[in-house]
Amino acid sequence: MTAHEDRLDSTPPTAIPSGEDGCIVWHCRQLRTRDQPALAYAAAEYSTLLPVFVFDPSFYGPEGLACDARIRFLHESIADLDDQYRDRGGGLSLCHGNPREVLAAFAEAGWDIVTTADPTGRYGLRRDNAVAEACNVTFVDADGLVRGADESRDGWADQAEAWLTGTQCSWSVDDVSLRSLDTGVTTNRVAEAYDVTPDKQQVPTGGTTAARERVIDFLERLDSYPGNISAPADARTGTSQLSPYLRFGCLSVREVYQAVKDHDGAERATEMFLSRLWWNRHYNQKLVDWSGWMDEAANPVMEGFHADTHEPARVEAWKHGRTGYPMVDASMRCLKATGWLNFRMRAMCASFLCDLLQQPWKIGADWFYYHLIDADPAINYTQFQIQAGMDGTNMLQIYNPRKQVRDNDPAGEFVYRWVPELQALPPEYLDQPEKTPLQVQAECGVEIGETYPYPIVEYEAARAAIVSKFDGVRDQAKQALQHDAVARRISMSQRGRVEDDEQERSGDDPDSGSTQSSLSSF
């Protein structure tokens, strides 16, 4: 909330036309017109469509957990969506205010509401429920996920894969009348009202147009993808960088899946990338099954696991890259400065906070969610919990941040970029700067303890401590997995591309040389 907010009307739009035989297509997250299930459904059922986006004040407030750079990406995506409608002879109507009140005003004028059923929790779930109570809302869930509390998850992977390979949703402007309202609300007015002033660097431009350009660019270098996942300096340019666009629905996962599958690329690279898109559905299914992933430990035995060791000073050192572990510090500074971090470094930082520092997982997950441009609740919170061992099945995935330097930044390219106070230190000492001989420190002008901090914890002792702590609850955690509700949220019946997940849950040390699984950064 800012002093400028009073410049922006928060009441529902006035002079709403009658909605007889028409519906509002409420764009909440799927910000595109192609392969858009709610739009395709609406075009088949109604003769008049009024596409709407509602700027929700709660998204901008202190509880919104969205950095200004992600908000600008959203605004750019909305502007691009408006262009997509204008190319079809229509436009996107922009409103500002509580979505329940705004959409209820349209409902009172006779409009039905159609939107996508997007996996969410917390405020998003309360918002959707409130709108559903106030309006006649159709939630379209054509996204490959299984819904319904009483439905079995057996075969859900078959359904997800059938969706990924199936026919995309389509509609024709010739079959409907597109309408729009001049509400006076614009992205620029909203940005000014909430003083949206991004300070991150290297942030991509939002919108479907930019997303499609990135797909084309990535397909040209797809064959080199397998070798560019783990090292953060390589991943910045070697991965597709499509995850922010998938998070806001500028492209559908299915569109990207089919574009990559149809491309004549190397088999290993193609399969590796397609598996990441399949994992996107896997983790979204988890949030559909249980919205508590965002707030509660998946295994109830792990709830409050690190409450007794919570030290705010340690959390602050982790957040701002002052831990004395160069790879952790470089990663956390990169996250804060750019809103991006490749998967292996995200997993390492989560492990460092929760395993080696023994700090509560939710504090770290919320920090990631605030800063990441591609912050997807279904991926961020499930992955953070799994890496922190909060599912009770994955307790030995403890990263060694020293080894990560040796394996993924041996020349120091990433560390030197984000921890400039170590630029004069020879790269052979970057895994353990505190072990640098005093003579070398004097020669290069890097004094550990002054120029750069000593490690906040000693790795071997910290690792032994968390292993012992996990051992103390292991049997109880396994027993909790016998309860149907807990077992269901943590594991699902799967087939096909499950090798990564089986490895993820095997308890293997992630530093053993095996390929880290899951959403290794699109």
Place of tokens 């149809």: 262
- pLDDT over threshold 80, residue 118: yes
DSSP-derived secondary structure letter, 354: I
Burial class (CB in 10 A: 0-12, 13-18, 19+), 180: middle
Kindly indicate the confidence band of residue 63, based on its pLDDT and cuts at 50, 70 and 90: confident
> In this predicted structure, which of 167-176, 308-317, 505-514 has the lowest mean pLDDT?
505-514
Give the integer Cα–Cα distance in Å for 209 and 389.
Answer: 39
Q: Which of 80-89, 168-177, 498-507 has the lowest mean pLDDT?
A: 498-507
The count of other CB atoms within 10 Å of the CB of residue 508 is 15
Is 507 a residue whose pLDDT tops 80?
Answer: no
**Pair 352, 323: CB distance under 8 Å:** yes
φ/ψ of residue 52, rounded to 5 = -135, 140
> Is pLDDT above 90 for 119?
yes
Confidence of residue 300 (pLDDT cuts 50, 70, 90): very high
Question: For the chain, what percentages of helix, strand and coil (3-state, to nearest 5) are there?
Answer: 55, 5, 40
Residue 419, classified by CB atoms within 10 Å of its CB into exposed (0-12), middle (13-18) or buried (19+), is: buried
pLDDT digits (tens, 9 = 90+) for 134-161: 999 999 998 999 987 555 677 788 899 9
280 membership: H or E segment, kind and range: helix 267-289
Q: What is the pTM of this model?
A: 0.93
pLDDT digits (tens, 9 = 90+) for 397-455: 899 999 999 999 999 999 999 999 999 999 999 999 999 999 999 999 999 999 999 99
Q: What is the mean pLDDT of the chain?
A: 91
What pLDDT score was predicted for residue 520?
Answer: 32
Helix (H, G, I), strand (E, B) or coil at 507: coil
Place of tokens 């912050």: 375
Please give the structure tokens belonging to residue 278: 């399949």
Q: Output DSSP code: residue 353.
A: I
503 has pLDDT over 90:
no
DSSP letter assigned to residue 20: T
Ordered by where they begin, the domains of the chain are 5-142 (3.40.50.620), 208-289 (1.25.40.80), 294-504 (1.10.579.10)
pLDDT of residue 497: 40
Question: Residue 479's pLDDT is what?
Answer: 96
Residue 232's pLDDT band (cuts 50, 70, 90):
very high
Please report, as a single letter, which amino acid is at residue 400: N
Token reading at 140: 């379209």
